[in-house]
Amino acid sequence: MTWRVALLCALVTGAAMMFEIPEAAISCYLIIFLMKPDAVVNIGTGIGFLVLLPGLIAFLVWIVNLTSGSTLHIMAAIVITSCVFLYLGAATQLGEQGSVAALIIAFVLTLIVQAPFGDAATFALREAWAMAALPMILMVGFNLVLGFSPVTLLRDTLRARLAVAAQALETGEPARLRELLREGNAPFDPQALVARVLRFVPLAAARQIAADVRSGFALMLAVSALPVDLAPRRRVALADQIRAAYAALGEGEAPPMPPDPPANAGPAERAAWDALSVLAGAPEPEVVPAPKTPFIAPDALTNPAYPRFALKTTAAAVICFLIYTAIDWQGIHTAMITCYVAALATTGETVHKLALRITGCLIGAALGVAAIFWVIPRIDGIGALMVLVFLGCLVGAWVSTGPERIAYAGVQIALAFLLTVLQGFGPSVSLDTAQGRIFGILLGNLVVYLIFTRIWPAPVAGEVRAFFARALAELARMARLAPERRPHAVGSAAAVEALAGKAEEALRVLPFEPRGLRPTPTRETALRGAVTEIEALNRAIWLSRDADLEHTAERLDFLAERFRGPAGEPGRCPGSATSASLTRRVGPAPMAGPFSHPLDQLQAAAG
């Protein structure tokens, strides 16, 4: 993935130089920002942008004609369109694409302010088309030739799951297993669907691949739920069977059919052997589908966080634009770009991203300045410049394809490097442009930091509570299934694991929040403990064969509702003497069987 991203950036650079398309660094940034491992996703993204781009250009033409060149009207258009697209990105599944659309529109409209109306409008619209269309066209063609097939990715995913399951059985170390569990199955279900619809493999093989992905996750979940006192010989037998399946898949063969599980096997052990049977070709039981994520968030019209995010990001971008316009330093226009790419939903995440952005900016700028001093003076052609871009982007792409918590630093390393070395339409040794662009990035970081920490600051704890509410609601839904159907609700179990992983990942950025926004130490401990309790509940409910878990489902629904509301004081917990409403609804007695745990951390976290 690293060399593919770097090579594609080099190709975009070469094309931009030959056809004299300005802002080649922004075109490369779109590649780094949007490129995913799955070739079909990349092709779909590229085609989607190319289809929507004419509509975007037509929209820009309408805006330009509506403003009639008036600076005041253009600024109003920037504010309105930016707020609308940022809101749509936050409140729908558009996500980052909404921010990209807002960035392109705002950037083009600012160009119109800086030059005579007629000339600027023509130039800006042409630039918008070329700057966005070029990388998308090349991304589509590149992935048709060198992209990863979804079938290959799914098979690699399955083998990775088998490897970590066997390793966890052999070493008793669950860290890597938990990491893969928290990926969930949602990223891989569309790949399985594409493999079936586009006939990458025969229909029967496509169905088996989809079943294998679900069974691989069920195997990992079952292994993670095995009792610690399971006999060593049983662990070895299960691990050996997993290793045999792994080896067979590596040879392109079907895994061997496993023996029947021991007669006295517990629920987790039996689930592991059943998953291996499906991998070997046994019929998969009827799948209980997980609920689909709606395109528009259910609280899109009621949650003030969405419009506040749009207003804060737009305000930061407009302030940066006014600053570099007032001091007449267009070289720092990267300040406005920074606002759109660095803003996130919560204050902690935004500050964390800003820290990565500053770190990446300094590293990328250092690489770029070093290239200006010692490399660029020795080259004089576009081909040599493409080689330089390839080598520089290798560093950024390697970091950006790593763990999510540091990946954005890689994007910034590559962007800062590109902004430094790509000036004009050929090799350039000017440090003025590089200096301005780097200063612009730092200015944008400062403005975003000040706005997001002082105006409507969004604490991380609020996002964590939302993840908990969704996870508990899904657990309640799984608890209401018939006992024989719960083992087949792998999608629901995977969704809960993914939500727990997102909650823990969000808690990692708490140190980046201003102290006034952070939860108290007691509350923070409860939030971290709640992640573990949700994971334990997920395994217990998925493996439970109790006929009636309605009492459990009601309790989970109650806790989910508490998490959707504002945080209260620790200690006023459902099930305690001070919570009469819960006592009336589900009774004061603890639940029986595997659900007798009082869920202290969840209750304390809910408030």
Q: Say what the pLDDT of residue 120 is.
A: 53
- Going by pLDDT thresholds of 50, 70 and 90, the confidence category of residue 498 is very high
Q: Is 295 part of a structural domain of the chain? A: no
Is 80 exceeded by the pLDDT of residue 596? no
Is 60 exceeded by the pLDDT of residue 578? no
Regarding whether 144 and 199 lie in a shared domain, the answer is no
pLDDT in tens, 519-543: 888 888 888 989 999 999 999 999 9
- Name which of 248-257, 268-277, 529-538, 573-582 the model is least confident about: 573-582
- Going by pLDDT thresholds of 50, 70 and 90, the confidence category of residue 203 is confident
Q: Say what the pLDDT of residue 118 is.
A: 54
Rounded CA-CA distance 214/221 in Å is 11
- Name which of 48-52, 61-65, 117-121 the model is least confident about: 117-121
- Going by pLDDT thresholds of 50, 70 and 90, the confidence category of residue 69 is low
Q: Is 352 part of a structural domain of the chain? A: yes
Q: Say what the pLDDT of residue 125 is.
A: 66
Q: Which of 454, 480, 496 is the last residue of a domain?
A: 454
Regarding whether 166 and 142 lie in a shared domain, the answer is no
Main-chain dihedrals φ then ψ at residue 456, nearest 5 degrees = 45, 55
Is 60 exceeded by the pLDDT of residue 312? yes
Rounded CA-CA distance 347/203 in Å is 47
Is 90 exceeded by the pLDDT of residue 112? no
Regarding whether 399 and 526 lie in a shared domain, the answer is no
Kindly give the residue spans of alpha helices, DSSP state H, lying in 252-333: 267-279, 305-326
Q: Is 285 part of a structural domain of the chain? A: no
Is 70 exceeded by the pLDDT of residue 592? no
Strand partners, 296: 92
Q: Say what the pLDDT of residue 121 is.
A: 58
Q: Which of 439, 454, 469 is the last residue of a domain?
A: 454
- Going by pLDDT thresholds of 50, 70 and 90, the confidence category of residue 106 is confident
Rounded CA-CA distance 288/213 in Å is 15
Percent of the chain with pLDDT over 70: 90
Please say whether the beta carbons of 604 and 570 come within 8 A: yes
Regarding whether 31 and 111 lie in a shared domain, the answer is yes
Q: Is 292 part of a structural domain of the chain? A: no
Strand partners, 92: 296
Of the candidates 42, 55, 35, the one whose C-alpha atom is nearest the C-alpha of residue 104 is 55
Q: Say what the pLDDT of residue 593 is.
A: 40
Angle between helices 460-479 and 347-374 in degrees, nearest 10: 120
Strand partners, 148: 38
Regarding whether 101 and 89 lie in a shared domain, the answer is yes
Strand ranges in 65-184 using DSSP code E only, listed in sequence order: none
Q: Is 372 part of a structural domain of the chain? A: yes
Residue 193: exposed, middle, or buried by beta-carbon count in 10 A (0-12, 13-18, 19+)? middle
Kindly give the residue spans of alpha helices, DSSP state H, lying in 172-296: 175-181, 189-197, 203-224, 232-250, 267-279
Q: Say what the pLDDT of residue 33 is.
A: 80
Q: Which one has a higher pLDDT value, 286 or 14? A: 14
Q: Is 434 part of a structural domain of the chain? A: yes
Please say whether the beta carbons of 574 and 590 come within 8 A: no
Q: Which of 408, 424, 454 is the last residue of a domain?
A: 454
Rounded CA-CA distance 371/395 in Å is 14
Q: Say what the pLDDT of residue 116 is.
A: 53
- pTM given for the model: 0.82
- Going by pLDDT thresholds of 50, 70 and 90, the confidence category of residue 495 is very high
Mean pLDDT of the chain: 83
Strand ranges in 439-565 using DSSP code E only, listed in sequence order: none
Regarding whether 446 and 474 lie in a shared domain, the answer is no
Tokens (6 digits) for 219: 């195997």
pLDDT in tens, 273-306: 999 999 998 888 888 887 787 888 888 888 888 8
Q: Mind spelling out the 3-state secondary structure of 16-57?
A: HHHCCCCCHHHHHHHHHHHCCCEHHHHHHHHHHHHHHHHHHH
Is 90 exceeded by the pLDDT of residue 111? no
- Specify which of 53-62, 113-122, 261-270, 323-332 reaches the highest per-range mean pLDDT: 261-270
Q: Say what the pLDDT of residue 5 is.
A: 94
Regarding whether 401 and 304 lie in a shared domain, the answer is yes
Average pLDDT score over residue span 210-224: 91
- Going by pLDDT thresholds of 50, 70 and 90, the confidence category of residue 245 is very high
Regarding whether 418 and 347 lie in a shared domain, the answer is yes
Handedness of CA 513, 518, 524, 527 (dihedral sign): negative
Is 60 exceeded by the pLDDT of residue 83? yes
- Going by pLDDT thresholds of 50, 70 and 90, the confidence category of residue 104 is confident
Q: Is 390 part of a structural domain of the chain? A: yes
Is 50 exceeded by the pLDDT of residue 72? yes
Q: Is 290 part of a structural domain of the chain? A: no
Regarding whether 591 and 465 lie in a shared domain, the answer is yes
Q: Say what the pLDDT of residue 122 is.
A: 64
Q: Number of structural domains, the chain?
A: 3
Percent of the chain with pLDDT over 90: 27
Q: Say what the pLDDT of residue 581 is.
A: 33
Is 50 exceeded by the pLDDT of residue 583? no
Regarding whether 223 and 262 lie in a shared domain, the answer is yes
Average pLDDT score over residue span 455-483: 90
Question: What range does the domain containing 357 cover?
Answer: 2-148+300-454
Regarding whether 465 and 600 lie in a shared domain, the answer is yes
pLDDT in tens, 402-450: 887 788 888 889 888 988 888 777 676 667 776 787 888 888 888 988 8
Regarding whether 63 and 6 lie in a shared domain, the answer is yes
Q: Say what the pLDDT of residue 475 is.
A: 93
